[in-house]
Structure formats: structure tokens, C-alpha cells
Amino acid sequence: MRAHARSRFAFAFALVAVAFAATAASALAGNVNIVRQGKAPPVAPPHTHYFKTIQAAVNASTAGDYVLIEAGVYDESVKVTSAQSGIWIRGMNRNKVILDGQNKPGNGIEIYKTNNVWVENLTVRNFDTGCSSCGNEIWWNGGGNSGKVGAHGWFGSYLTAYDTGLNGSYGIFTGNETEGSWENIYASGFNDSGIYLGACQECNARI
């Protein structure tokens, strides 16, 4: 009986080892797209690429890739589309990675009809109202005003959104999407809602 048990244990262990190796290989298959305002190193590790802007790094990413943003103030709006489903956008320091709208009309980070996108560990500020659907700092947009759920899988953690001019619409915003979560988030200074989840009858959300 003991020999039979050892045989079953060895077989189970072999299956676990194979599963772990497959998972590790899958994790290593993605690219790491680093956003750096300074000079990139002359030689980068495999699967690592450097970009000057967040949008350029996002555009180069596909499912399983990471966009890692180094400390700095970034004067840009970022839009994520369905070609980038399944990516991670992660700042290297919540308080020092800042997308700054300079109190002009626009959106900070908009994830448009795109599934399973993570945004983590950064700050977006001062993207104001003044144009159609503007004034949103971080927006998982499954199809605003469509009356339909157009995406699923929205995940945000360690995020800060604020507007010093009190002229932003929504700080951290998910609409027309299901199945997601926010953790450790903060928003202030908005003339509508700092944190907003809506347009989903069964949202399946955790906040």
C-alpha cells in the first residue's frame, strides 16, 4: 500500500511541476514596456522595451504585457483600446508617477471597450470638463451612453485622482462594464463624483 501511495504522490508531484513550469513560461512570454523620461540603457534585458510616453508603451502592448511607468510628471492623455485587452499599467510609485491634465479639458486614462485591464499605483490629476465626455481621470469605459455593457474585467488598486480646480467630473470611474474591483483608492475635488460605478445592472463588483 505504501509503495502504491508513493507512486501516486510522485505522479501528482510531477503534474504540479509541469503545471508550474507552464505557468512560469506563460508569465515570461509577455513583454515589459518601460516608460522612462530619461535616457534608456544601451542594452535592455530580453522582452524589455523603453518608451518616452505612456501612450507609446500602451500602443506597443498586447495581452499579458506590462506597462511600467517610472517616476515623473507626464503631460499626456492615454487611451487603451481593445487591441490592448489583458494588459497591466503600473506606476513605480503611487505619489511620484503623475499624469497631469493641467486643468484643461480631457480625460486622463480611458480604457475604452477593453476587457481585463489593470491600472495600479499612480496618480492622475486635473483633467477637467469642457468638452464632450471630458473630465474623467481614470475611466474604464464600456460604452458611455450606449445603454449596453461593452466590456468586462476592470481592476484598479493604489490609485489617486484629484482636481485642484474643482472642475473635474469623475475621478475613478467605471461605466457599462462588469466583473471588476477597486482597492486602496482615493479621489477628491470633483464637481460630480470622486468615485463612480454605474450603468451595469449586475455589476459583479468589489470596492
Task: Give the tens place of pLDDT for each residue, 60-108.
Answer: 999 999 999 999 999 999 999 999 999 999 999 999 999 999 999 999 9
The set of residues, in sequence order, having a beta carbon less than 8 Å from that of 192 and lying 6+ positions away, is 135, 168, 169, 170
- The pTM (predicted TM-score) of the whole model is 0.86
